[in-house]
Chains A and B, each alone.
Chain A
Amino acid sequence: MPINYYIFLSIALFCIGIAGVLTRRNAIIIFMCIELMLNAVNLLLVAFSKMHSAAAAALPDAATVGTDGQLFVFFIMVVAAAEVSVGLAIIVMMYRNIHSVDVNFLNRLKH
């Protein structure tokens, strides 16, 4: 399959994620949308990694070309997990105080 299909798919997923972050009001759904953005990036990185290794098939070091893209994906997964654990803790902390996870409540600091 041409690389363009992968690029369009992951850009579409990424844009769905951005639209969700900007329009949704529930903190947990916003969080899911951010995860969607990160996973779109993962998909794109794996596709690019495959593309670069296919392009370098004729070169002598073809076996290692493109592996760094896939390694990056693992780092993104680890960091996303850390971010989710902290994020959910913060959301739970807020729920304990105001019994809601609606971000419209977040207006005490405006003035």
Chain B
Amino acid sequence: MNALIISAILGVIMMFSGILLKQKSGVRGIAIGGLVLVLLSNVLEMNGTHFFNVNLHGMMEFDHFSLLFVSVIIGAMLFYFILSARDMEKVGGYYAEYFALLFFILCGIVLVTSFKSLLILFLGIEIISIPLYILTGSDKRNLKSNEASLKYLLTGSFSTGLMLMGIALIYGATGTFDVAKMKLGLSEQPELLAIAGMLLLLFSMSFKVSAAPFHFWTPDVYDGAPTVFTAFMATIVKAAVFIGFIRLFGDTFGGMAPKWQFWVAVLAAATLFIGNITAVFQQSVKRMLAYSSIAQAGFMLLALFAMNQDAREGILLYSVAYSLATIGIFAVLGRMNDYTFEGFNGLARRQPLVAAVLTICLLSLAGIPLTAGFLAKFYMLKAAMAAGTQFWLVIFAVLMAAVSVYYYFRVIQAMYFKEGEANVTVSAGFKTALVVLAALIIVLGVAPELILYWLYF
């Protein structure tokens, strides 16, 4: 609750700071300081300090899992602000408003991770989506950005329509929006309305997390949006919506698991296949990262399929590992002139430190041991094995992880083994943040219990 209210207030403060403050560094300072405040208040809430006493009527529940996840998301967002906030100046003239929208998205993220009523889920998803439509189109003169935002808007609101229909059908079947009171799947006879509603919700959430075959908007939108905002969409928003997805299917439809488990397995396999195979053929690193985010979503779907304790640990670790690595790569990519693979040629010679950090991030995404990405993938596979029904899915996921090594290593190869003129201008602070990021990825790869411990504390 602390994080929700404080980030909403901060969003309003950011809007006014755009009028009152002339210097962009001041706006940035307020945003980063405010985010630290949100993080502190959320950590305090984990320890039992509530600043606000609001009667939620059981519509939301701030349990340990959601609070821990929100802390992790705010931590990732802090890295994102420190690394990429300066790049937002290049997008357009509304610097403070971008931060305001990002804080409003954070409110939506808190709603989605802690909902107990389908109304809150719907509101959370919309509060995340509507600012994202604006941020995608924020580069107003650029046709690609226009096109991406219109595409995102049309597909996004279409999937919202599907989600609402699903919620309405479930309401018809159960008479409540409250997840705890639904008790779906307990009776013997098939509930046609509930099954149709569940399918519609499955489709619309797959849209939002870009699982195949509902992924077609992802590469275009991620490619067309300004790179700073692509980084935010592909990491923080995606991880948060995934937690909402998992809470929805674990809590609401947990009793109906035999009916959807096989189809989620098919969805995961299709997502892994399409994401990885298409990423191999990309020429632009930005577009490759878009397909890689689809591929990683396929891995995260394994948690949805398994839905056991390993899966809860795994999804937490996975969202940290994936978000940190992708934020690092996008932060550097946003400062490159050329987004193709050739654009990275010879980067290691001019910027050895940046190249080394990029290598660690890419290794983590590929799932090489000693990085956080390896353990995250390991937990996911372990969870899918423990579910015990679809053994082929585990083997298929391992094969696809092997395919992913190819396109991640193409970037490393370009940086270290090819001659070229690639260069980036980086400040000392940027380098420090990158090194901290890389250190965190390696530390979590060696000792994941540093995060997982808090799940049981």
Which residues from chain A sit less than 8 Å from chain B, CB to CB?
7, 14, 17-18, 21, 27, 30-31, 34, 37-38, 40-41, 44-45, 48, 51-52, 55, 65-66, 68-69, 71-72, 75-76, 79, 82-83, 86-87, 90-91, 93-94, 97-98, 103, 105-106, 108-110
B277 within 8 A of A: no
Contact A108 B144 (CB under 8 A): yes
Report the minimum CB–CB distance from B207 to chain A (whole Å): 13
CB <8 Å contact, A65 and B153: no
Stretch of B9-17, B129-137, B268-276 that contacts chain A: B129-137
B220 contacts A75, C-beta separation under 8 Å: no
**A87 CA / B146 CA spacing, docked (Å):** 11
Q: Interface residue tally of chain B, by bracket?
A: 35 or more
User: What is the CA–CA distance of A71 and B176 in the complex, to the nearest angstrom?
Assistant: 12
Minimum CB distance partner of A21 in chain B:
B158
Q: B133: which A residues are within 8 A, CB to CB?
A: 86-87, 90
> Could you say which residues of chain A place their CB within 8 Å of the CB of B158?
21, 34, 37
Q: B171 on the interface (CB 8 Å rule)?
A: yes
Closest to B222 in A: A109
For the complex, would chain B's binding face be called helix, strand, loop or mixed by DSSP majority?
A: helix
Q: Is residue B177 within 8 Å, beta carbon to beta carbon, of the partner chain?
A: yes
- Going nearest first, the 8 A-B pairs with the smallest beta carbon separation are A37-B161, A109-B220, A41-B164, A48-B172, A52-B175, A44-B168, A94-B146, A79-B126
* Residue numbers in A under 8 Å from B402 (CB-CB): none
Q: Does B5 have its Cβ within 8 Å of any Cβ on chain A?
A: no
Q: Are the C-beta atoms of B140 and A79 separated by less than 8 Å?
A: no
In the complex, whether B87 has a CB less than 8 A from a CB of chain A is no
Interface: B223 (CB within 8 A):
yes
Instruction: For the complex, give the distance between the alpha carbons of A31 and B232 in Å.
Output: 26
Q: How distant is the Cα of A110 from the Cα of B151 in the complex, in angstroms?
A: 12
Q: Are A34 and B172 in contact (CB under 8 A)?
A: no
| Residues in A neighbouring B151, C-beta threshold 8 A | 106, 109
